[in-house]
Amino acid sequence: MQFELTREYIDQLKQIIDDKNEAEAVSQMKELHPADIAEIYDELDIEEAKFLYLLLDGDTAANVLAELEDDDRDRFLKALPVEVIAKQFIDRMNSDDAADVIGGLSDEQQERILFHINDIEQAGDIVDLLHYDDDTAGGLMAKELVKVNENWTVLTCLRELSRQAEDIDEIYYVYVVDDDDILKGTISLKKMILSSTSARISNIYLPDAMAVHTDAKDEDVARIMEKYDLVAIPVIDSIGRLMGRITIDDVVDVIRDEAEKDYQMASGLTEDVESNDSVWIQTRARLPWLLIGMLGGLISAFVISTHENDLGINPAMAFFIPLITAMGGNVGVQSAAIIVQGLANNSLGFESTFSRLMRELTGALVNGIICSGIVFIVNTITGNSQDLTISVSAALFSVIIFASLFGTLIPLTLNKLKVDPALATGPFVTTLNDIVGLFIYLSIGAYFLGLV
């Protein structure tokens, strides 16, 4: 049953905590999923969350810790003794979750936690994972997996599987390696069960397993798993040794994080922020693009001021400034969004920049003719002068063409420069389109109205 967090539930839970009613608190959380408990913690202060957290059984507590947002988790960990973190939580986590949990702590805190972990092998796995960058396959992978040697018999493998499976929640694939731990392929549980117990794995496994290298970018891993509908993928080092595996739940987090980052960048935010972040953090993320937008507005004002006399002679020109800037911004963002989406899912293929621009130009010509034609008809019906009607229609047509090409070229250029092309779908395009669109409109207006 899906849990719905309400204000009444939080108020009731806070009262239970104030009364130190441990039995009732445990009862309230007994049937909840760890993700639901993590959501509850977002609404509590650190002491209230700590009270509830220490009432959870070890496995649930470990899962809740993995579900918490990074900032909340780091804040929470600082309130707990390192011995509690190590023995009650980290010991019960998969290596990838454990590395994520302590990765944001200081080196000194990491060392103290690792020192108190009972399982030396797990501690070693966590240390290995901490050496990889967070945005790589190495940083995503877990060391826990099931592997068999290609020289073993099926009977030996089945016995070994029962031992290895103790530390793994889900077995998606059984990986086949040689004596040097080089990944050779995969074998299904069904294949082993149906094969003779004396059969050798080398004769029945599937070779050439799809894998990624430890230094592969997390976005590339997500793209591969999405394309081939994989629930898990092995990770190998530079010489092909099996290092770990990445499961679909980790990839879903990557896809979500990338989508949030692109959305915030398109909205003019320079870093990842949450609604409950401090005013300083939100201001720091918003201010840079606000300043750029303000600078663009000042430049637009300067462009208008250079045509002040023209507007004084034909004030009706001013009525259409919002139309020109709005259309330019919308068209530019639409074109940029299509390119950014194509770059993100690799749907652009091998099409050259020139071909892409020609395709966009064709669409812009159609859109420009339709929109400028409608404006021409409306202006004619409403009795505006012929010169003004022609000026607005010609300027709108020109702005649509420019904005389409500009919105296409900018993300392609940013991608070539290894800059996130999502930057092009936000204030960057709209601000420049406003400036250029105003310049085009006022220049065309001045020409057709005989002001130059």
User: Lowest-pLDDT range, 281-285, 355-359, 438-442?
Assistant: 281-285
Mean pLDDT, the chain, integer: 82
CA distance 136 to 124: 19
pLDDT score of 22: 86
Q: Which pair of structure tokens corresponds to residue 376?
A: 């021409």
pLDDT over 60 at 393, yes or no? yes
CB 259 within 8 A of CB 398: no
The whole-number average pLDDT for the span 248-252 is 85
Architecture of the domain spanning 7-140? Alpha Horseshoe (1.25)
Determine what percent of the chain is predicted with pLDDT higher than 70: 90
pLDDT digits (tens, 9 = 90+) for 95-147: 888 888 888 777 888 888 888 887 788 888 888 898 898 889 999 998 888 89
* 303-309, Cβ contacts within 8 angstroms, sequence gap of 24 or more: 303/435, 303/438, 303/439, 303/442, 304/438, 304/442, 306/442, 307/442, 307/445, 307/446, 309/451
Closest CA to 427 of 361, 332, 321: 332
pLDDT score of 452: 46
- For the chain, the domains span 7-140, 147-247, 279-448
pLDDT score of 68: 79
**231 Cβ partners below 8 Å, 6+ apart?**
172, 225, 247, 248
pLDDT over 90 at 250, yes or no? no
pLDDT over 90 at 397, yes or no? yes
Predicted TM-score of the model (pTM): 0.66
Q: Where are the beta strands (DSSP E) in 11-139?
A: none
CB 233 within 8 A of CB 221: yes
pLDDT score of 239: 93
pLDDT score of 280: 74
CA distance 406 to 410: 6
Banded pLDDT at 243 (limits 50, 70, 90): very high
pLDDT digits (tens, 9 = 90+) for 414-429: 778 877 776 656 677 7
332 against 277, higher pLDDT: 332
Which residues pair with residue 234 across a beta bridge? 245
pLDDT score of 275: 58
pLDDT digits (tens, 9 = 90+) for 290-318: 777 788 778 888 888 887 777 777 788 88
Architecture of the domain spanning 279-448? Orthogonal Bundle (1.10)
pLDDT score of 152: 93
**323 Cβ partners below 8 Å, 6+ apart?**
375, 392, 396
pLDDT score of 451: 53
The whole-number average pLDDT for the span 232-260 is 87
pLDDT over 70 at 278, yes or no? no
pLDDT over 70 at 2, yes or no? no
pLDDT digits (tens, 9 = 90+) for 317-353: 888 888 888 888 888 888 887 887 777 666 665 567 7
Architecture of the domain spanning 147-247? Roll (3.10)
pLDDT over 90 at 176, yes or no? yes
pLDDT digits (tens, 9 = 90+) for 152-162: 999 999 888 88
Q: Where are the beta strands (DSSP E) in 188-279?
A: 206-207, 212-213, 232-236, 242-247
Q: Which pair of structure tokens corresponds to residue 299?
A: 């430049």
66 against 235, higher pLDDT: 235
